[in-house]
């Protein structure tokens, strides 16, 4: 079943078309890889889906709803979470606080969600609510084997751990769909292996994962399906096996052989 699809999604900056009529779809329960050379428009596509940027044309459909142009915080609340290419942690907050912020809108009664009453309510039930949030945050840290460093400031973590913390924070929003923007960038092979295990564990939690990655070994070994972008356009999609043999993709990466 298709969880998310974009219809003719286009984003132009003045004359430069960063994403051009892309039809990108994500199947529920699978790990989807999004690859392509630098400047192919992968991150722009992510931004347009997650509400940090607004498409010039086209639509984004998530779980049957048109979410085109919704603000980022609303999209997050619908169940799409993401990480960033350049890590964007709340650097001066502790590890556990970073994850707790992910729980922000998951608290309180649903009929008043996001309203003043809800804020008031959480003000009254402060202790109980905080304990709940804290407990859930700790569970996510355990998932990443990071409980021991929960009171560190985020900026003091080693690089690999910072990437994992960002994923933990995104997961804390209980997403149906998780976007990872180059999660393995800057990681050493051991860290990458650990990351692969974690991504598989995330899929086992029934969370659909989409990832941008340049590490081909990682992409090929964990993705169920792969979409390739080049110059803002979709070049190919299919299983890793198919992609590896696709002539267009090979040309895009290696250049045309004469």
Partner 1 sequence: MWNFFLLILIYTGIYALMALGQNIITGYGGMLSLTQAGFFAIGSYATAILATRYGWSFWATLPAAALFSAFFGLLIGLPTLRLKGDYLAIATLGFGEIVRNVLNNWDSLTNGPMGIQKIPMITIFGFVVNPYKKYAFLVVLSIAVLVAYLLFQRLARSRMGRALAAVREDEIAAQSMGINITKYKVYAFILGASVAGVAGSFQAAFTLSVSPGTYTFMVSVMVLCMVVLGGMGNFKASILGAFIIQLISYLPQLTGLTAVIPPQFKQILFGLILVIMMIWRPQGLLGREQITYRKKGGKR
Partner 2 sequence: MGIAEFFQHLMNGLTLGGIYALIALGYTMVYGILKFINFAHGDVLMAGAFIGLFVFDWLRGSAPLGVWTIISFFLAMIVSMGLSALLGVFIERVAYRPLRQATRLAPLLSAIGVSFILSNGAAWAFGTRSRKFNYPFDNTPITIAQVVITPHQILILVVSLVMMIALRLFVNRTRMGKAMRATSLDQPTAMLMGINVDRVISLTFAIGSALAAVGGILIALDFKVYASMGTMTGLKAFVAAVVGGIGNISGAMFGGILLGLLETFGVAIFGIPTGLKDTIAFGVLILILLIRPEGLFGKVEKEKV
- Say which DSSP state 94 is in: B
Return the HEC string of 195-226. Answer: HHHHHHHHHHCCCEEEEECCCHHHHHHHCCEE
Least Cβ distance, residue 18 to partner 2 (angstroms):
12
Least Cβ distance, residue 106 to partner 1 (angstroms):
8
Instruction: Choose the one of partner 2, partner 1, none that binds residue 136, judging by a C-beta under 5 to 8 angstroms depending on kind.
Output: none
| Residue whose C-alpha is closest to residue 76's, from 210, 183, 178 | 178
> Which x/- pattern, by CB under 8 A, does the window 143-182 give for partner 1?
--------------------------xx--x---------
- Count, residues near partner 1 per rule CB under 8 A: 43
Which helix or strand (DSSP H or E) is residue 96 part of?
helix 95-102
Instruction: Choose the one of partner 1, partner 2, none that binds residue 247, judging by a C-beta under 5 to 8 angstroms depending on kind.
Output: none
Sign (positive or negative) of CA dihedral 65, 69, 72, 73: negative
Region from 31-39, 62-70, 73-81, 187-195 binding partner 1, contact rule CB under 8 A:
73-81
Contact 3, 63 (CB under 8 A): yes
Task: Give the residues lining the site for partner 1 (CB under 8 A).
Answer: 50-52, 71-73, 76-77, 81-82, 84, 88-94, 96-97, 100-105, 107, 114, 119, 122-123, 126, 129-135, 138, 169-170, 173
């Amino acid at each position: 079943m298709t969880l998310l699809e974009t219809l003719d999604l286009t984003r132009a900056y003045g004359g430069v078309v960063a994403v051009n009529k892309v039809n990108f779809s994500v199947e529920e329960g699978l790990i989807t890889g999004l690859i392509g050379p630098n400047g192919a428009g992968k991150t722009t596509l992510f931004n347009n889906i997650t509400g940090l940027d607004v498409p010039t044309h086209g639509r984004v459909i998530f779980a049957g709803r048109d979410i085109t142009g919704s603000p980022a915080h609303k999209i997050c609340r619908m169940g799409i979470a993401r990480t960033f290419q350049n890590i964007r942690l709340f650097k001066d907050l502790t590890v556990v606080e970073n994850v707790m912020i992910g729980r922000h809108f998951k608290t309180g009664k649903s009929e008043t969600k996001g309203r003043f009453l809800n804020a008031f309510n959480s003000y009254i039930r402060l202790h109980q609510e905080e304990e709940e949030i804290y407990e859930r945050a700790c569970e996510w840290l355990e998932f990443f084997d990071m409980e021991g460093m929960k009171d560190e400031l985020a900026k003091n973590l080693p690089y690999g751990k910072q990437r994992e913390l960002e994923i933990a924070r995104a997961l804390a929003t209980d997403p149906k769909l998780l976007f990872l923007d180059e999660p393995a960038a800057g990681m050493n092979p051991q860290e990458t292996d650990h990351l692969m295990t974690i991504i598989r564990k995330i899929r086992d939690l029934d969370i659909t994962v989409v990832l941008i990655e340049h590490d081909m070994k990682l992409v090929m070994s964990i993705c169920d399906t792969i979409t390739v972008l080049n110059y803002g356009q979709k070049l190919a999609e299919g299983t890793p096996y198919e992609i590896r043999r696709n002539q267009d993709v090979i040309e895009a990466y290696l250049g045309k052989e004469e």
